[in-house]
Copies of this chain bind each other. A is one copy, B any other.
């Protein structure tokens, strides 16, 4: 995958060199020779990746990085810090400033392309999750919320796959303060003995395992739904370019070479875990927004919008299977009185408790939705009229048998519900008909004294308020 890369360095020769390397691999390249120019280009051009030199006169790379990462409009753009080989502390400082990866000078082709490609791959996925609103601003229902830099690394779970005990112990030592737990798997007999791979934040996999091909493990981790997006950091022999290229092709996220530099390992582990958790955070947010879009805030039942589309689906699948389909339309009797007497907050409590009782008394294949203020719909697939009436009657009693305890009143209050029932049948074979038949039933229930179920036949169980 190609990308637009911004190269920032104050030395013209370095800029030209990187530009040529990247262009030879068909990357689009932008350049900047100082921090201020870089910030301007970043804001205007929104590159996909920034290659940022640390040592620059005036504003140094750390400061540029910090500013990018604190600007919501561009904070999502991955930054690779370019540090001097003899300044291992710079890597840690870079990560603290919010950098996503780092390369050491002199920059070699393979690490350069491997790291750039890995971050581009990540960015393309993240961009899908960072849905934009109509004005082009990044937006999520929960506000822009956290940036990737603010993600906590606490309690991270790492699985280390390494069958040399001494190496495993050394790695554990390096990472002790960084991660929450490290499980070690020695891959006995070619199989991972670890179950529940989905719980890990990171896999560290040696590619010099004695019994199995580490790349094969990487592949199976990448191929499984539960671990598809979990970062994999491989340990590779210095100079083993073929394996590195294969690993990156498989979707391995990062690598370190032997002999392992503890500082570098820690820095890379932190960065990978942070990326993973940020992606999880965005996915969770998205999920939450999707859920909110179909849910009524007061009752947590599905909302009318969802009911409409859901009913469409249920209707056609019932038609296909020639199965029964019933609908209940429920309306809380004299609900306005509750609001007027006890206030809106208490009214909401009644709606909430009402909804709980309803959902507690229907099957998992049934769907309950709030249709309007105090009006509810229950859709029951594969349900004939007899059973629908039976359920409706049970719901009616569930409401009337036990008064509602609310915070606005010392004594529990009596609540009753009227219910109209309809069923798909000859002459009632559209969604609209199903609604209007249920509505007619509800009307009859209200007319004949409330707190009752009416539909195909009328239940006259109790006289109500």
What residues make up the interface of A, taking CB atoms closer than 8 Å to B? 1-4, 26-28, 46, 48, 121, 124-125, 127-129, 131-134, 139-145, 215-216, 218-220, 222-225, 228, 246, 249-251, 283, 286-287, 289-294, 297, 303-306, 309-310, 312-313, 344, 372-373
Per DSSP, chain A at the interface is helix
Closest Cβ of chain B to A231, distance in Å, is 14
Among B225, B312, B313, B372, which residue has its beta carbon within 8 angstroms of that of A46? B225
| B228-A124 in contact (CB<8A) | yes
A140 partner residues in chain B, CB cutoff 8 A: 290
Q: Using CB atoms, name the residue of chain B closest to A132.
A: B287
A223 partner residues in chain B, CB cutoff 8 A: 2-4, 27-28, 48
A136 to B251, CA, bound (A): 25
Closest Cβ of chain B to A225, distance in Å, is 7
A139 partner residues in chain B, CB cutoff 8 A: 290
| A287-B131 in contact (CB<8A) | yes
| A286-B225 in contact (CB<8A) | no
Q: A293-B289, A313-B143 are in contact. Are A250 and B128 (CB under 8 A)?
A: no
Among B2, B27, B125, B291, which residue has its beta carbon within 8 angstroms of that of A128? B125
Among B127, B133, B220, which residue has its beta carbon within 8 angstroms of that of A291? B133
**For the complex of A and B, 6 pairs with smallest distance between CB atoms:** A143-B309, A26-B219, A28-B223, A292-B293, A141-B293, A289-B293
| A143-B27 in contact (CB<8A) | no
A124 to B228, CA, bound (A): 9
A293 partner residues in chain B, CB cutoff 8 A: 141, 289-290, 292-293
A96 to B186, CA, bound (A): 49
Closest Cβ of chain B to A242, distance in Å, is 13
A3 to B144, CA, bound (A): 33
Q: Using CB atoms, name the residue of chain B closest to A46.
A: B225
A224 partner residues in chain B, CB cutoff 8 A: 4
Among B131, B132, B141, B305, which residue has its beta carbon within 8 angstroms of that of A305? B141
A131 partner residues in chain B, CB cutoff 8 A: 283, 286-287, 290
Q: A28-B219, A125-B124 are in contact. Are A309 and B4 (CB under 8 A)?
A: no
A127 partner residues in chain B, CB cutoff 8 A: 228
A297 partner residues in chain B, CB cutoff 8 A: 303-305
Among B28, B133, B134, B145, which residue has its beta carbon within 8 angstroms of that of A220? B28
Supplied contacts A1-B121, A1-B250, 8 more A-B pairs, CB within 8 Å: A1-B251, A2-B222, A3-B223, A27-B223, A131-B286, A141-B309, A143-B310, A293-B293
A361 to B134, CA, bound (A): 21
A310 partner residues in chain B, CB cutoff 8 A: 143
A218 to B124, CA, bound (A): 17
Q: List 12 A-B contacts (CB under 8 A).
A: A1-B250, A2-B219, A3-B222, A26-B246, A27-B223, A127-B228, A140-B290, A141-B293, A141-B294, A142-B309, A143-B313, A144-B313
Best-buried of A125, A129, A216, A289 by chain B (most CB within 10 Å): A289
Closest Cβ of chain B to A438, distance in Å, is 18
| B125-A216 in contact (CB<8A) | no
Among B4, B133, B220, B306, which residue has its beta carbon within 8 angstroms of that of A290? B133
A373 to B139, CA, bound (A): 26
Among B27, B48, B305, B313, which residue has its beta carbon within 8 angstroms of that of A292? B305
A143 partner residues in chain B, CB cutoff 8 A: 309-310, 312-313
Best-buried of A26, A27, A121 by chain B (most CB within 10 Å): A26
A219 to B144, CA, bound (A): 31
A121 partner residues in chain B, CB cutoff 8 A: 1
Closest Cβ of chain B to A100, distance in Å, is 19
| A26-B309 in contact (CB<8A) | no
A2 to B220, CA, bound (A): 8
Q: A124-B228, A141-B306, A216-B26 are in contact. Are A1 and B222 (CB under 8 A)?
A: yes
A250 to B22, CA, bound (A): 12
Best-buried of A216, A223, A228, A283 by chain B (most CB within 10 Å): A223
A291 partner residues in chain B, CB cutoff 8 A: 133-134
